[in-house]
Every structure is written in structure tokens, then in C-alpha cells.
Amino acid sequence: MVHPRVLEPFLSLRLREPKAADQGHNIDLKKVREGLRKMSRKEHRQHKRMRRLESQLRETEAEESDIRKDRLQGQILQQLLWTYAHVLKQVPQRPELKPLLRPVFKGLAQYAHLVNLDFLEDILDALGTLLNLLGSRDAPCCLQAAFALLSGQGQALTVDPQRFYVALFRCLLESPSASARTLLLCWRTMVVNRCRSLSVYRLKALCKRFATLCLNHAHSLGLTLSLGTLLRSEPRLQGLLEVADSQTIFRPMLGDPDHAGCAPLWELHVLRKHYDPSTAAIAKAVASSNRIPPTLTSLDPVRVAGKRFDPLVAFPARWAKFC
């Protein structure tokens, strides 16, 4: 049995690191000038030729070292991706390898911009197969890795991401206990950054499911802030705030967001009475089609999601003797 910590050092690899600045020795210019003055014209010309030759040799050595470095990094990356792909393909047959998936997903998301197109299709197929086997905690990490691959060189592929959005739709229903930070990173990559390319039916259904998650999740501030920012910036979602769309029906138990329908976000009116004043202020502003307070729009939902608001309930004075 391989421990997950065995794969964690792969996350510290410095692939394609920038070139280090040349740290030359301190040159005494006075001595150089004195040496040039003592030279004859013939020696001076020969000195210039030698300097040119030395500079050309240094450039040639630098090019050779860069080529050698790129070749070595390519071999390391190939072995790294082979290891990740091997783990992904072995998990369906060997469920005991599931603990290895977390570092694999992190590694794929970290090195997604370096993955060659030859590996992309195989890795995406393996990730799509795993989605049906993962729980509510690991599925967002898998989706984040998949869309990190699709955001880089994967844009050149003609891959239909519907199965990933179906998994996200299911994951939002089953993951009130999942990490809010992971959910928000997944939501930002799949929905916020791609909202213009999504169909209006899929986008509205995902927002409706996400609003339901805001009611049940402990870190509702970051979730509500992310939802409110999207509703304010996307004109196609304004119908979710109007009563005119009350005739539509939302079918939450359907697995496909394209066919689940949509309905007005009554969840925002419930969140207006949330115990967290910031969450209530965001919900009130969005539901009333007003601007979100600037002090809240400047916050990063992912960072806010790591903080939990614990309210202090003030009991009436007559209850003091019972406390």
C-alpha cells in the first residue's frame, strides 16, 4: 500500500523555473584599464578577439545547458504524468488506492499548463470515469483538476464538458460538508470564468443549486458573496430576481442542469435574515437589485470562506437566572 505522502514531494518540483541571474565576480575596473594601457596595438587587437571568442563560447555553453535542462524537465514531466495517469486508471479496479487521489488532483491542477496534448485526452477520460466513484469531498478536487487542464492547452481540444457540469450539479447538492474553499475554486473555474460560454439554462440551474447550498453551508458568507457578484455581473441571470419567472419550475432531483429548469431565487430572501450581518447585507442588496456594499465587494470569496462566523446570541435579561 502506497502512502499519499509519497506523491506529495512531486508538488515541490520546480519545472520551467526562470533562469537565475548571472552572478559574476566583482571586476576591478582600474586594474583592467591599467592593463589595457600597457598593451600595444597588436596585443590590444588580440585581446578583443579573445574576448569575442570567450563571449561566443559562453553563449554556446548557455544554449547547450538550456537544451539539456529542457530535455531533463521533459523527461521528469513525462514520468510524473505517467504516474498520475497510472493512479487514475488503477483506482476503479483497486479502491484501496483512493487516498492517493488528493495529491494527484493537486499535481494535475498545478502542472496543467505543462501537460502535452497527447496526455490530455487520456487524463480527461480517466477523470471523467472517476467522477461517478468519488464522494462529495473528492469530487470538487477532481473537477478543479479537469478544468485546469481544459483552461490551458486543452482549449484546443473539442471536449464536451457536460459530464463535468453534471457532476458539479450533483456535488453542490451532496456537499454541505465539503471544503468551502475547494467549492469556490471549482465554482470560479467552471462557472464564473466561463459564464459567457454556458447556456442560460445550465447557468440558471447551477445558480439555483448554488443558492440552496448557501442556506446549508457553514461558510455561507463566501458562497453568498460569489453568487451575488455573479448575479450582478451577468445580465442573463436578472430573471432569477424577478417575480415574472415564478411560473417556471425547478426540478432539483434531475441530474442534468440543462433540463432541471429554473425558478426565482427565494433563497436570497431567506438569507436576508441570516445571523451573519455581512451575509444578510449581500443577500438584501442582490435581492433588491442594489449594489453590494463596497466593503464587501473588495473581499475575496475564497479567502473569506476559510473564516467561520460564530455569532454571540444575546439572551433577554429575564433569562439571565436560567443561564
Judge whether 153 and 270 are in contact, CB under 8 Å.
no
Average pLDDT value for residue range 165-183: 79
pLDDT in tens, 18-29: 344 444 445 555
The string of DSSP letters for 213-245 reads HHHH-S-HHHHHHHHHHHHHH-GGGGGGGSGGG
Q: Is 261 in a helix, a strand, or coil?
A: strand
Q: What is the per-residue pLDDT across 187-233, written as a single tens digit (0 to 9) for each?
A: 888 898 888 888 899 999 999 999 988 888 878 888 888 998 898 88
- The residue written with cell numbers 559562453 in the block is 58
Q: Looking at residue 18, what is its pLDDT?
A: 39
What is the mean pLDDT of the segment spanning 285-314? 72
The answer to whether the CB of 184 falls within 8 A of the CB of 223 is yes
The pLDDT value given to residue 21: 40
Q: What is the mean pLDDT of residues 301-311?
A: 66
Model confidence band, residue 36 (pLDDT cutoffs 50, 70, 90)? low
**Alpha-carbon gap, residue 9 to 6, rounded angstroms:** 7
- Which pLDDT score, from 0 to 100, does residue 314 have? 47
Give the per-residue pLDDT at 216.
80
Q: Which of 1-10, 54-63, 150-159, 307-316 shows the lowest per-residue confidence on average (mean pLDDT)?
A: 307-316
**273, 238 in Cβ contact below 8 A?**
no
pLDDT category at 178 given cuts 50, 70, 90 is low
CA pair distance 116, 154, nearest whole angstrom: 9
Question: Is the pLDDT confidence value at 39 over 80?
Answer: no
Least confident window among 30-44, 98-112, 115-129, 253-267:
30-44
Residue with the bigger pLDDT between 313 and 9: it is: 9
pLDDT tens for 75-91 read 888 888 888 888 888 88
* Average pLDDT of the residues in 133-156: 82
Average pLDDT in the chain: 79
- Which range, of 38-47, 56-65, 201-210, 222-231, averages the lowest pLDDT? 56-65
Dihedral pair phi/psi, residue 18, rounded to 5° = -65, 155
Q: Give me the pLDDT at residue 32, please.
A: 61
